[in-house]
Amino acid sequence: MCGIVGFVGARDDAREVLQAMMDLIAHRGPDGQGQFLEGPVALGQRRLSIIDLEGGRQPMYNEDENLVVVFNGEIYNFQSLAEELRAAGHTFATRSDTEVLLHGYEQWGKGMLDRLRGMFTFAIWDRRENTLLLARDHFGIKPLYYYQNEEGELLFGSEIKSFLGHPGFHKELNEDQLSLYLSYQFSPGENTFFKGVKKLMPAHWLEWKDGQATVQRYWRPEFKPDDAPSLQEWEKAISDTMQESVTAHKIADVEVGSFLSSGVDSSYMAALAKVDKTFTVGFANKQYDETDYATEFSKHIGVKNYAYRITPEEYWANLGRIQYHMDEPLADAASVALYFVNREAAKQVKVCLSGEGADEFFGGYNIYKEPFTVSWYDHLPLWLRRSVGAVANLLPPVPGINFLVRRGRPLEERYIGNTNLMGERRKRKLMKHYTGNCKPTDISRPFFEMTKGQDPVTRMEYCDLNLWMVGDILLKADKMSMANSLELRVPFLDRKVFELACRIPTKCKVNAQQTKIAMRGAAEMTIPAKTADKKKLGFPVPVRAWLREEKYAAILRDAFATPAAEKFFNTKELNRMLDQHVSGKRDNWRQLWCVFIFLVWYDEYFVKR
E strands in 167-250: 198-199, 204-209, 212-217
Close Cβ partners of 151 (under 8 Å, ≥ 6 residues apart): 9, 168
For 399-428, give one letter per residue: b (16+ CB within 10 A) or e: eebeebbbbbbebbebbbbbbbbbeeeebe
Q: Are 356 and 474 in contact (CB under 8 A)?
A: yes
Q: Are 318 and 480 in contact (CB under 8 A)?
A: no
Q: Beta strand 277-283 with 256-259: parallel, antiparallel or unpaired?
A: parallel
Active site residues: 2
How buried is residue 228: exposed, middle or buried, by Cβ count under 10 Å (0-12/13-18/19+)? exposed
Question: How many other CB atoms sit within 10 Å of the CB of residue 253?
Answer: 15
Instruction: For 248-316, give the secondary structure using H, E and C.
Output: HHCCCCCCEEEECCCCHHHHHHHHHHCCCEEEEEEECCHHHCCHHHHHHHHHHHCCEEEEEEECHHHHH
Q: Which amino acid is at 568?
A: F
Q: How far is CA 507 from the centre of its chain?
A: 27
Q: Are 354 and 257 in contact (CB under 8 A)?
A: no
Of 336, 424, 339, the closest CA to residue 600 belongs to 336
Q: Which amino acid is at 385?
A: R
Backbone angles phi, psi at 584, to 5 degrees: 85, 5
Backbone angles phi, psi at 464, to 5 degrees: -65, -35
